[in-house]
Chain A
Amino acid sequence: MIEERDQISTGKKIAFTIGGLVIAGVYFLYFLDIALMKMQGLDYCYNFPDWFRKLCF
């Protein structure tokens, strides 16, 4: 067990963690929040500034 853990460097672990957070973040924001609100005919970015609205599809 310990040998397998040692095979992954700290840098890789950090990269994977950040990657996981980014992928999950994109999934939750675009595929859940924005898309599901749009499906209901509602505006997710109701109170948001214009620069953020440009990110919404």
Chain B
Amino acid sequence: MATITKQARKKVWAFLALGTFVGLLLLPLFLSLPAGAGDTPAPAASTASASAAPADAKPVEKSRDVWFKTEGPVIGAPAPKTTDSPKDYPRYNFESRVILWVALQQHLYYGSFVLAVPIFCMIVEYLGVITKDKALSRKYDQLAYDFVKISLTAYSLTALLGGIVIFTFLTLYPTFFGYLSSIFRPVMATYALLFIAESGTLYIYYYAWDMMREGFLKWIHVSMSVILNVIGTVLMMLANSWIAFMQSPAGVDADGRYLGNVWHVIHTTLWNPINVHRLLGNMAFGGGVVAAYAAYRFLTAKTDEERAHYDWMGYVAMFIGVCFLIPLPFAGYWLMREVYAYRQQMGITLMGGLLAWLFIIQAVMIGALFLTANYYLWQGMERMRGAERYQKYIKYMVFVLITCFIVWLTPHTIVMTPAELKAMGGQQHPVLGNYGVMSAKNGAINTIITTTVLSFIMYQRGNKIPVVKWAPLGNAFLFGLFTMAYINIIWLAIYGYYIPANVRVGLSVPQVASTLSCLFIGVILNSIMLKGAKDTGPIAWGQISVRSQYALIMLATSFTWMMGLMGYIRSSVRLFWHVNEIMRDNSPWAFTHTIGFGANMISFNVLFFWLTILFVFWLGSLGVKKAPVTAPAGQKVPAPVGSH
């Protein structure tokens, strides 16, 4: 009886907690409803934003939104015209922009990490709940718990770095930050409240893990992970609104005066493409960081059980990371398309002008990423008995990947001195000017992704033999699917050379669709074919080469470097504007750094982040050292093999 009462009490508290979180989440929405929608001066969130509208007696001046073209009452002051003075740009004896760059980048790295980890926890904990195998279920649950433990210290660092960012803005860019915060006041207030909600939810999620381990409470716990992610995603989206506003402003008139519609300033044209791209990027990055953590623990493992556990953890993290890496280029493409649609010149600056070489560097990183991901999968196949039958295809896949990599990274223009430019008679080299065009590159990257999907399908089948009656038909269809996909992608890449640009740009859609067809149809068909398949042997977790773990660390470092690079590109494309075409940057640093300087800064940020995250991992490991590590459920841990 006492147990039933205790259970009932737990349920009541759990419902109350859940209700509170949901209420807190929906509170801004409820508060904004009485103010109405549309062009009225209605803050979308807390009523703490007390900026009063002009008195009714005074006639309200109206102006037109620069983007949405709607009319609205002028609420705010015009964007300040700054001068290079201690008033607008107080400074240390150092470039303020660089200080802000480091602070922001570190905050972004940590923020990205702590947003990604709860998504991992949600997926893995859910897998643990639905898995029928009890031992594997416990394993997944423990893995989710380990993930959240790793990220706890990272949350504090994220908040600390956010504070440093705010202080840096206030002390080094007071005029700009004053302007931005005058427009985004309710958004920033909501952001702060949501951060409290996020922290509260996280602490309860973590500390109540053991208490809510079983039955109905477990479902409440999983629901909390969903809420944690919703809050985290909203936080990210609110912060994204500030940078989207800076790049593609809306909700203000041509003088930068706020027109009262906070939804317009939030929902600028680049907001959603940045949201999607960042959400996927966070996942890929978070997967990489966790996989690198697992790789480090694998390399320093003392027992076979530890090696097996961390090999498995690295695989799960890498798998989730690469799953989200696959759609990332599509989100990036959407973002670029919207940039071109917003301001063609901005798009040209990015990919056809000043910053074009940074995209070549990005191409090199992406190619390296996919090569590494494929390499890791091939190494992983060595721990599966039966996967040897696919070994003979690897050399062809390597050849395809490397050829595509070379095509993918080929620049269209070469770095030249003015004298060389004059000798050539123009930007385009008579021979090399034919290369490095998008038609070939689209074909190359789609081929790379399709080959990665193929590697994954081989990995899925590694230690399994399909036994379904229609297996030969399924295999034939898979063979046909991939062969025709390759042919189609390459055909469209060649065809693109012979048609005008406005038609060629449309070919990217069927190319991408070919890749996605292989991904979805191929993986799903393969999974169906493998139902009830005959095992040729268990996966020998821990029996993987040391090189594969270096590959995981390479993945993580590449993700980190690329995030820094793309963030630098996004920030630089504003050129000499704080807010594009609204508030000019009149600081002494209103110029674009050389590519070398940018690359050095990015590398510094990456190194700094990895040093500090190692400290975070070390802190996390202080608690886990005594916990016994078991091998993945159902898998025997074989005798150690020498690495090769």
Contact = CB atoms under 8 A, between A and B. Distances in A.
Interface of A: 1, 4, 8, 12-13, 16-17, 19-25, 27-29, 32-33, 36-37, 39-40, 42-43, 46-47
B503 A46 contact: yes
B506 A20 contact: no
B135 interface: no
What DSSP secondary structure best describes chain A's contact surface?
helix
Given A24-B481, A24-B484, A19 B476 contact: yes
A4 B478 CA distance: 19
Contacts of A37: 506-507, 509-510
Nearest to A22: B480
Given A16-B477, A36-B509, A42-B503, 15 more contacts: A1-B534, A8-B472, A16-B472, A16-B476, A17-B479, A17-B480, A19-B476, A20-B480, A22-B480, A28-B514, A29-B488, A33-B488, A42-B502, A42-B506, A46-B499
B509 A40 contact: yes
B499 A13 contact: no
B47 interface: no
Interface in B210-260: none
A40 to B, nearest CB: 5
A25 B480 CA distance: 8
B483 interface: yes
Interface string B498-520: 11101100110110011001000
A37 to B, nearest CB: 5
A1 B480 contact: no
B274 interface: no
Which residue, of A4, A17, A22, A24, has the highest number of chain B Cβ atoms within 10 A?
A: A24
Interface residues of B, number: 32
Contacts of A39: 509
B485 interface: yes
Ranked 5 nearest A-B pairs via Cβ = A20-B480, A16-B476, A24-B484, A24-B480, A20-B476
Contact of A43 (B473, B475, B480, B503): B503
B467 interface: yes
A36 B510 contact: yes
Contacts of B478: 20
Nearest to A48: B495
B530 interface: no
Contacts of B189: none
Nearest to A12: B472
Contacts of A13: 472, 476
B100 interface: no
A23 B488 CA distance: 13
B442 to A, nearest CB: 14
Given A4-B467, A13-B472, A33-B492, A25 B510 contact: no
A24 B481 CA distance: 5
A1 B513 CA distance: 35
Contacts of B465: 1
A6 to B, nearest CB: 12
Contacts of B487: 28
Contacts of B472: 8, 12-13, 16
Nearest to A26: B484
Nearest to A29: B488
A21 B484 contact: yes
A9 B499 CA distance: 45
Given A13-B472, A24-B477, A32 B499 contact: no
A19 B21 CA distance: 55
24 contacts: A1-B534, A16-B475, A16-B476, A16-B477, A17-B476, A17-B479, A20-B479, A21-B484, A22-B480, A24-B477, A24-B483, A25-B480, A25-B484, A28-B517, A29-B488, A32-B510, A33-B488, A36-B506, A37-B510, A42-B502, A42-B503, A43-B503, A46-B499, A47-B495
Contacts of B476: 13, 16-17, 19-20
Interface string B559-587: 00000000000000000000000000000
